[in-house]
Amino acid sequence: MSGTGECLDILEGGAEPGPRPRWPAALVLLAVLGAGAWGLDHVGRVADYDALFSCVQAGDAADTSVRAQISMITDYIRPALSSGPPPALRDGLFDLVRQRAADGVPQLVSARDGCRAVRPLPWHTGLIQARESYLTYLDTRLAVVQGIARNGSLVYVQHPELAEVWQQARAALAAAAPNSEAAQRVRTLLSGPVG
Protein backbone atom coordinates (compact mmCIF):
# COMPACT_ATOMS: atom_id res chain seq x y z
CA MET A 1 0.00 0.00 0.00
CA SER A 2 1.11 3.49 -0.61
CA GLY A 3 1.10 6.19 1.98
CA THR A 4 -2.27 7.35 0.67
CA GLY A 5 -3.93 3.96 1.13
CA GLU A 6 -3.99 2.95 -2.49
CA CYS A 7 -3.00 -0.57 -3.41
CA LEU A 8 -0.01 -0.71 -5.62
CA ASP A 9 0.05 -3.44 -8.13
CA ILE A 10 3.42 -5.03 -8.06
CA LEU A 11 2.63 -7.64 -10.70
CA GLU A 12 3.87 -6.98 -14.13
CA GLY A 13 1.11 -6.23 -16.51
CA GLY A 14 -1.37 -4.83 -14.08
CA ALA A 15 -4.31 -6.35 -12.28
CA GLU A 16 -4.82 -9.96 -11.25
CA PRO A 17 -5.84 -12.27 -14.06
CA GLY A 18 -9.53 -13.20 -14.28
CA PRO A 19 -10.82 -16.76 -14.08
CA ARG A 20 -9.27 -19.14 -16.56
CA PRO A 21 -11.47 -20.51 -19.33
CA ARG A 22 -12.41 -24.15 -18.65
CA TRP A 23 -13.02 -25.27 -22.23
CA PRO A 24 -9.41 -26.41 -22.89
CA ALA A 25 -9.64 -28.81 -19.94
CA ALA A 26 -13.04 -29.99 -21.16
CA LEU A 27 -11.61 -30.65 -24.62
CA VAL A 28 -8.75 -32.65 -23.16
CA LEU A 29 -11.21 -34.65 -21.06
CA LEU A 30 -13.40 -35.31 -24.11
CA ALA A 31 -10.36 -36.42 -26.12
CA VAL A 32 -9.27 -38.80 -23.36
CA LEU A 33 -12.80 -40.21 -23.00
CA GLY A 34 -13.13 -40.57 -26.78
CA ALA A 35 -9.82 -42.40 -27.05
CA GLY A 36 -10.82 -44.67 -24.19
CA ALA A 37 -14.19 -45.42 -25.79
CA TRP A 38 -12.52 -46.13 -29.14
CA GLY A 39 -10.04 -48.44 -27.41
CA LEU A 40 -12.81 -50.32 -25.63
CA ASP A 41 -14.79 -50.60 -28.85
CA HIS A 42 -11.74 -51.91 -30.67
CA VAL A 43 -11.26 -54.56 -27.99
CA GLY A 44 -14.95 -55.51 -28.38
CA ARG A 45 -14.62 -55.59 -32.17
CA VAL A 46 -11.59 -57.88 -31.97
CA ALA A 47 -13.44 -60.16 -29.53
CA ASP A 48 -16.48 -60.25 -31.85
CA TYR A 49 -14.25 -61.05 -34.83
CA ASP A 50 -12.44 -63.80 -32.93
CA ALA A 51 -15.78 -65.40 -32.01
CA LEU A 52 -16.88 -65.17 -35.64
CA PHE A 53 -13.58 -66.59 -36.88
CA SER A 54 -13.92 -69.52 -34.47
CA CYS A 55 -17.37 -70.33 -35.83
CA VAL A 56 -16.01 -70.06 -39.39
CA GLN A 57 -13.23 -72.51 -38.47
CA ALA A 58 -15.82 -74.96 -37.10
CA GLY A 59 -18.03 -74.44 -40.15
CA ASP A 60 -15.13 -74.98 -42.52
CA ALA A 61 -14.10 -78.16 -40.69
CA ALA A 62 -17.66 -79.54 -40.87
CA ASP A 63 -18.04 -78.51 -44.52
CA THR A 64 -14.71 -80.07 -45.50
CA SER A 65 -15.47 -83.28 -43.62
CA VAL A 66 -18.94 -83.72 -45.11
CA ARG A 67 -17.73 -82.97 -48.64
CA ALA A 68 -14.86 -85.43 -48.22
CA GLN A 69 -17.18 -88.19 -46.98
CA ILE A 70 -19.59 -87.69 -49.88
CA SER A 71 -16.71 -87.52 -52.35
CA MET A 72 -15.17 -90.75 -51.04
CA ILE A 73 -18.39 -92.72 -51.37
CA THR A 74 -19.03 -91.20 -54.81
CA ASP A 75 -15.56 -92.27 -55.94
CA TYR A 76 -16.23 -95.74 -54.48
CA ILE A 77 -19.45 -96.29 -56.44
CA ARG A 78 -18.28 -94.67 -59.71
CA PRO A 79 -16.80 -97.85 -61.26
CA ALA A 80 -19.99 -99.82 -60.57
CA LEU A 81 -22.15 -97.04 -61.99
CA SER A 82 -20.03 -96.77 -65.12
CA SER A 83 -20.76 -100.42 -65.97
CA GLY A 84 -24.50 -99.66 -66.36
CA PRO A 85 -25.82 -101.67 -63.42
CA PRO A 86 -29.41 -102.88 -63.18
CA PRO A 87 -31.83 -100.36 -61.61
CA ALA A 88 -31.93 -102.12 -58.22
CA LEU A 89 -28.12 -102.05 -57.92
CA ARG A 90 -27.98 -98.46 -59.15
CA ASP A 91 -30.56 -97.47 -56.52
CA GLY A 92 -28.54 -99.30 -53.87
CA LEU A 93 -25.36 -97.47 -54.85
CA PHE A 94 -27.08 -94.09 -54.68
CA ASP A 95 -28.52 -95.13 -51.33
CA LEU A 96 -24.93 -95.38 -50.06
CA VAL A 97 -24.37 -91.78 -51.14
CA ARG A 98 -27.69 -90.74 -49.64
CA GLN A 99 -26.76 -92.28 -46.30
CA ARG A 100 -23.33 -90.66 -46.24
CA ALA A 101 -24.91 -87.26 -46.90
CA ALA A 102 -27.53 -87.86 -44.21
CA ASP A 103 -24.73 -88.66 -41.76
CA GLY A 104 -23.16 -85.27 -42.51
CA VAL A 105 -26.27 -83.14 -42.04
CA PRO A 106 -25.95 -82.92 -38.22
CA GLN A 107 -22.35 -81.65 -38.54
CA LEU A 108 -23.46 -78.83 -40.82
CA VAL A 109 -26.48 -78.00 -38.66
CA SER A 110 -24.26 -77.81 -35.59
CA ALA A 111 -21.76 -75.54 -37.38
CA ARG A 112 -24.56 -73.30 -38.65
CA ASP A 113 -26.15 -73.07 -35.21
CA GLY A 114 -22.75 -72.20 -33.72
CA CYS A 115 -22.42 -69.29 -36.13
CA ARG A 116 -25.97 -68.15 -35.49
CA ALA A 117 -25.08 -67.92 -31.80
CA VAL A 118 -22.31 -65.40 -32.53
CA ARG A 119 -23.80 -61.95 -31.95
CA PRO A 120 -21.54 -59.02 -32.83
CA LEU A 121 -22.38 -55.70 -31.19
CA PRO A 122 -25.07 -53.86 -33.17
CA TRP A 123 -22.73 -51.09 -34.33
CA HIS A 124 -20.19 -53.61 -35.71
CA THR A 125 -22.11 -53.71 -38.97
CA GLY A 126 -19.25 -55.17 -41.01
CA LEU A 127 -19.07 -58.14 -38.65
CA ILE A 128 -22.84 -58.59 -38.79
CA GLN A 129 -22.70 -58.58 -42.60
CA ALA A 130 -19.81 -61.08 -42.56
CA ARG A 131 -21.74 -63.36 -40.20
CA GLU A 132 -24.84 -63.19 -42.39
CA SER A 133 -22.79 -63.91 -45.52
CA TYR A 134 -21.19 -66.95 -43.95
CA LEU A 135 -24.57 -68.18 -42.67
CA THR A 136 -25.92 -67.84 -46.22
CA TYR A 137 -23.08 -70.06 -47.42
CA LEU A 138 -23.68 -72.66 -44.69
CA ASP A 139 -27.43 -72.64 -45.37
CA THR A 140 -26.79 -73.13 -49.09
CA ARG A 141 -24.34 -75.98 -48.45
CA LEU A 142 -26.77 -77.56 -45.98
CA ALA A 143 -29.60 -77.42 -48.54
CA VAL A 144 -27.40 -79.18 -51.12
CA VAL A 145 -26.38 -81.91 -48.66
CA GLN A 146 -29.98 -82.36 -47.48
CA GLY A 147 -31.03 -82.79 -51.12
CA ILE A 148 -28.42 -85.52 -51.58
CA ALA A 149 -29.56 -87.08 -48.29
CA ARG A 150 -33.05 -87.42 -49.82
CA ASN A 151 -31.84 -88.60 -53.22
CA GLY A 152 -28.26 -89.81 -53.61
CA SER A 153 -28.27 -89.33 -57.39
CA LEU A 154 -28.36 -85.55 -56.80
CA VAL A 155 -24.67 -85.79 -55.96
CA TYR A 156 -24.02 -85.26 -59.69
CA VAL A 157 -26.03 -82.02 -59.88
CA GLN A 158 -23.84 -78.93 -60.15
CA HIS A 159 -24.47 -76.01 -57.78
CA PRO A 160 -22.79 -72.85 -59.13
CA GLU A 161 -24.56 -70.77 -56.46
CA LEU A 162 -22.24 -72.32 -53.87
CA ALA A 163 -19.18 -70.65 -55.40
CA GLU A 164 -20.96 -67.29 -55.50
CA VAL A 165 -22.09 -67.28 -51.86
CA TRP A 166 -18.68 -68.69 -50.82
CA GLN A 167 -16.86 -65.79 -52.48
CA GLN A 168 -19.24 -63.25 -50.92
CA ALA A 169 -18.70 -64.73 -47.45
CA ARG A 170 -14.93 -64.86 -47.90
CA ALA A 171 -14.80 -61.23 -49.04
CA ALA A 172 -17.11 -60.03 -46.23
CA LEU A 173 -15.09 -61.87 -43.57
CA ALA A 174 -11.81 -60.43 -44.86
CA ALA A 175 -13.30 -56.91 -45.06
CA ALA A 176 -14.58 -57.14 -41.47
CA ALA A 177 -11.20 -58.24 -40.10
CA PRO A 178 -9.79 -55.85 -37.48
CA ASN A 179 -6.34 -55.94 -39.09
CA SER A 180 -4.48 -57.28 -42.12
CA GLU A 181 -3.20 -60.32 -40.22
CA ALA A 182 -6.76 -61.41 -39.36
CA ALA A 183 -7.85 -60.80 -42.95
CA GLN A 184 -5.04 -63.03 -44.21
CA ARG A 185 -5.98 -65.75 -41.68
CA VAL A 186 -9.52 -65.91 -43.02
CA ARG A 187 -8.35 -65.84 -46.67
CA THR A 188 -6.00 -68.73 -45.91
CA LEU A 189 -8.66 -70.70 -44.05
CA LEU A 190 -11.18 -70.27 -46.84
CA SER A 191 -8.79 -70.76 -49.74
CA GLY A 192 -9.84 -74.30 -50.60
CA PRO A 193 -12.23 -75.31 -53.34
CA VAL A 194 -15.95 -75.02 -52.74
CA GLY A 195 -17.03 -77.99 -54.90
CB-based burial, 53-89: b 16+ in 10 Å, e otherwise: bebbbbbbebbeebbebbeebbeebeeeeeeeeeeee
Percent of the chain topping pLDDT 70: 76
φ/ψ region of 13 (left if φ > 0, alpha if ψ in -120 to 50, else beta) reads left
CATH, domain range 47-189: 1.20.120
Instruction: Give 1 or 141, the one with higher predicted confidence.
Output: 141
The helix or strand, by DSSP H or E, that contains position 143, with its residue range, turns out to be helix 125-150
Q: What is the pLDDT of residue 185?
A: 87
Average pLDDT, the chain: 84
Does the pTM surpass 0.75? The reply is yes
pLDDT band of residue 81 (cuts 50, 70, 90) is very high
- Higher pLDDT residue, 183 or 116? 116
d(CA 155, CA 177): 35
Are 138 and 171 contacting, i.e. CB atoms less than 8 angstroms apart?
no
From 7-11, 50-54, 148-152, the region with the lowest mean pLDDT: 7-11
Burial degree of 191 (CB within 10 A; 0-12, 13-18, 19+)? exposed
- pLDDT of 92 over the 60 cut: yes
Sign of the torsion formed by the C-alpha atoms of 77, 83, 89 and 94:
positive
Question: pLDDT tens, 98-150?
Answer: 999 999 999 999 999 999 999 998 888 999 999 999 999 999 999 999 999 99
> Who has greater pLDDT, 195 or 113?
113
